[in-house]
Structure 1
């Protein structure tokens, strides 16, 4: 066993004090059947570092040696999978991820720290089963978030996606051969759909405070907000987000070199995001997010007024001005923090007494307004920078009330026109059937009245003569009139 560690016997009987075990000092260890066996060895992991590995609970020395030898005979990758805990692997995995976005890395780290390590970190990486994962997620479903509400189904699905990604990486490294996270069954998470702040919903909110998770303003409510903030320094920013659907980070990261007011368009080429208090400047959220956004003449006028205001602030600041090239800045020229934009919008909305919406909900509203104005889904997808039109259709195109009324009227008109055509067909068919029935009846019914007097008299005489002949033949006398 040289170089393979040690195999030893230990005892689990009480020593007379609570929480104390005799371990390897028990005088009864020499007795047959008393105590258990364990082994302690060291073996290198994937990083080349030698780690201590200890296993215990074997009934015999031979069983402990067999498990130790099997472990040492495995490849370094499988050995690491059998030795490493899930906590060790998750920490190693997240520390080596270099190709993901900072916000994605922050999300992964949050899932690992808050949910995965407390419930699954102690399991061996190569011994995790789908049953263990299912039980852990059942416990997670009973937890509450920072607002005291149960964890949303979407959160559980994102945590599961993080775990699946970690196991997929372990498979690529050769640490495990299966991904048990793919067999976790969770209740389907429904994507929240934006609802419009109609007057009944506004009254209910003012009375009870109840609101939907995602809400959008009507065109009138949005116009009220924009009109009452036309003197705000960031009026052009609210205008761009509300009408063209820019993300917060895209608006905060917009530079004048990306804006062409003469051709009425701007290019989304970067964004500013806030990760654990630090501001990071990087590419847009996805490849589809790098896009060109068309501008209407009114938006161009708003941006020209904003540029003029910024030039005035630059002259007023003089040497204190920092030329950063950003469209939306502080009064000294420095770029805005995304969190400041959110807080500023919330304050303006509250001061105006409008129903609550998030800053990101203005992006939902921009899609709904474009859809209501007649833009098709493909144009809206390009405007918002979505990689999939399904997301655009399912989440961002809540139809506003006027469009709903027009669609309802068009549907009713279609049905009513069809009903009139069907009713006309039935009427024409009934008339034709009646005429056909009359002709058949006229052919089958004997003629009882003849309007020609001569023909009628001749028929009456012939009838009398026939009756007289029948009477002479039978001996009957005709009745007198």
Structure 2
């Protein structure tokens, strides 16, 4: 009977099978997150209520990640409601106040420490940091970057693939990116390209791996965490280097459309939503500038 299906079964056997538009990596990430973080993961769909959602959000401290996952839950339950698995969407009209969506960015001093240490002690991570800081590349995109996509003369890099892990399977290269807009071309400072060439260790991939010809994204995650601990810096994700890149561009007054394009966001509204706090600062600066000029 439809109404007796568990959330776990509905997610894998119904929702994912019907959402052909979702990338396999997205499905894998959602499944892993929900399985490990939702107390109601094995609860029957019909009996999941707003209290369950609020309890989970409180447990997650209303972080940006929980805010994002709550949006995913909304669409999952809405799908269930449309197909008569439930009567009401427990996420409906649920206002979630999320923390800073862009995460915690790194300061200039912290960046200098990270780059200095990794250059001397772990050059693979050093190159990954350069690509994230100067190009805003995602971790999987960095690992999947091939020399064939690097124009050493114009210093342009084409993002056309990534390394992904689906469930417990070994990582592999795929040309399927997060969104169509993730296929993009980014120009880098010449010194970044020079550093990549100087430390070249693979004829196919820009950063060679250990077990595989490419670098495993998990290596970046674990090694970056270790480096932060060694340097005595506050724990943040490697992904926050990407946010740092975008934050610097915003603070320097770079065109919002260009920033969105460089980040590979599907919609400009995504960029604006994530970096609203920076846009508010720019609004204030614009008002001050206008007032100063007109008075």
Under TM normalisation by the shorter chain, which class is it? 0.7 to 0.9
Change (3 A) 1:94 1:366: same
2:187 aligned residue (278, 294, 303) = 294
Query: Is 1:257 aligned to 2:148, yes or no?
Result: yes
2:127 is matched with which residue?
236
Query: Is 1:223 aligned to 2:131, yes or no?
Result: no
1:353 aligned residue (223, 227, 232) = 232
1:180 is matched with which residue?
88
Asked if the contact 1:274/1:339 (under 8 Å) is kept, the reply is: no
Q: CA deviation at 1:163?
A: 1.9
Q: CA deviation at 1:262?
A: 1.8
2:244 is matched with which residue?
365
1:436 is matched with which residue?
none
Asked if the contact 1:364/1:397 (under 8 Å) is kept, the reply is: no
Query: Is 1:326 aligned to 2:217, yes or no?
Result: no
Unaligned runs of at least 5 residues, structure 1: 1-79, 124-131, 171-175, 195-213, 312-322, 420-481
Q: CA deviation at 1:119?
A: 3.4
Relative contact order: is structure 1 or structure 2 higher (C-alpha 8 Å, sep ≥ 6)? 2
Q: CA deviation at 1:95?
A: 6.5
Change (3 A) 1:394 1:246: same
Greater strand proportion? 1
Change (3 A) 1:109 1:345: closer
Q: Aligned ranges for residues 200-219 of structure 1 at < 5 Å?
A: 214-219=103-108
Aligned partners of 1:418, 1:286: CA distance in 2, in Å?
Answer: 44
Query: Is 1:85 aligned to 2:4, yes or no?
Result: yes
Aligned partners of 2:224, 2:85: CA distance in 1, in Å?
Answer: 50
| Aligned positions, number | 281
Q: Deviations over 1:97-116 (max 9, x none)?
A: 47231233225545479455
Aligned partners of 1:306, 1:216: CA distance in 2, in Å?
Answer: 27
Q: Deviations over 1:121-177 (max 9, x none)?
A: 4x4xxxxxxxx65xx2213322479xx645644443332222223444x3xxxxx49
Change (3 A) 1:139 1:89: closer
Unaligned runs of at least 5 residues, structure 2: none
Q: CA deviation at 1:351?
A: 2.1
Provide the aligned C-alpha RMSD in A.
Answer: 3.4
2:72 aligned residue (148, 158, 162) = 158
Asked if the contact 1:367/1:397 (under 8 Å) is kept, the reply is: no
Query: Is 1:305 aligned to 2:198, yes or no?
Result: yes
Q: CA deviation at 1:228?
A: 3.1
Asked if the contact 1:108/1:162 (under 8 Å) is kept, the reply is: no
Aligned partners of 1:379, 1:95: CA distance in 2, in Å?
Answer: 33
Q: Deviations over 1:194-234 (max 9, x none)?
A: 4xxxxxxxxxxxxxxxxxxx211223432332233223322
User: 2:261 is paired with a residue of what secondary structure?
Assistant: helix
Under a length normalisation based on structure 1, what TM-score does the superposition of the two structures give? 0.51
Asked if the contact 1:164/1:181 (under 8 Å) is kept, the reply is: yes
Asked if the contact 2:39/2:56 (under 8 Å) is kept, the reply is: no
Aligned partners of 2:74, 2:289: CA distance in 1, in Å?
Answer: 48
Change (3 A) 1:226 1:177: closer
User: 2:243 is paired with a residue of what secondary structure?
Assistant: helix
Asked if the contact 1:329/1:335 (under 8 Å) is kept, the reply is: yes
Q: CA deviation at 1:290?
A: 0.8
Aligned partners of 1:192, 1:373: CA distance in 2, in Å?
Answer: 20
2:173 is matched with which residue?
281
Asked if the contact 2:134/2:188 (under 8 Å) is kept, the reply is: no
Asked if the contact 2:159/2:184 (under 8 Å) is kept, the reply is: yes
Aligned partners of 2:117, 2:68: CA distance in 1, in Å?
Answer: 36
